[in-house]
Amino acid sequence: QITLEESGPTLVKPTQTLTVTCTFSGFSLTTSGVGVGWIRQPPGKALEWLALVYWNGEVQYSPSLKSRLTITKDTSKNQVVLIMTNMDPMDIATYYCARHTPSNYGAPLDYWGPGTLVTVSS
Partner 1 sequence: EIVLTQSPATLSSSPGERATLSCRASQSVGSYLAWYQQKPGQAPRLLIYDTSNRATGIPARFGGSGSGTDFTLTISSLEPEDFAVYYCLQRNNWPITFGQGTRLEIK
Amino acid (one-letter) located at 82:
L
Count of residues in contact with partner 1, rule CB under 8 A = 22
Q: Report the C-alpha gap between 45 and 22 in whole angstroms.
A: 22
Part of the chain binding partner 1 (CB under 8 A), chosen from 13-21, 59-67, 69-77, 80-88:
59-67
User: Would you count residue 42 as binding partner 1 (CB under 8 A)?
Assistant: no
Residue 4 or 76 having the CB closest to partner 1: 4
Return all residues near 90 (Cβ < 8 A) that are at least 6 apart: 42, 120
Q: Which one among 46, 57, 67, 90 touches partner 1, defined by CB under 8 A? A: 46
Confirm or reject binding of residue 35 to partner 1 (CB under 8 A): no
Q: Based on the shown chain and the rule CB under 8 A, indicate whether residue 117 belongs to the binding site for partner 1.
A: no
Applying CB under 8 A, which part among 9-17, 23-31, 44-52, 76-84 lies near partner 1? 44-52
Region of residue 29 (left: phi > 0; alpha: psi -120 to 50; beta: else): alpha
Cα dist from 108 to 49, 56, 89, 101, 120, whole Å:
12, 17, 29, 5, 29
What is the closest distance, in whole angstroms, from the C-beta atom of residue 55 to partner 1 in the complex?
16
